[in-house]
Amino acid sequence: MRQVGLGRQFRKLASQLDGAFRADGVFAHDRLRFVDFVDDVEELLEEVAWQEWGNKEVVDGFEEYMLRHCSG
Tens of each residue's pLDDT in the chain, 72 residues: 556 566 666 666 667 677 788 888 888 888 888 888 888 877 877 877 777 778 777 777 776 777 777 765
The answer to whether position 1 is within a domain reads no
Predicted local distance difference test score (pLDDT) of residue 25: 83
Structural domains of the chain, count: 1
pLDDT score recorded for residue 71:
64
Residues 6+ apart with CB under 8 A from 15: none
Residue 26 domain flag: yes
The pLDDT, as a whole number, for residue 8 is 67
Structural domain that includes position 65: 6-70
**Does 23 reside within a domain?**
yes
Task: Note whether residue 45 is domain-resident.
Answer: yes
What are the backbone angles phi and psi of residue 27, rounded to the nearest 5°? -60, 135
* Domain assignment of residue 12, yes or no: yes
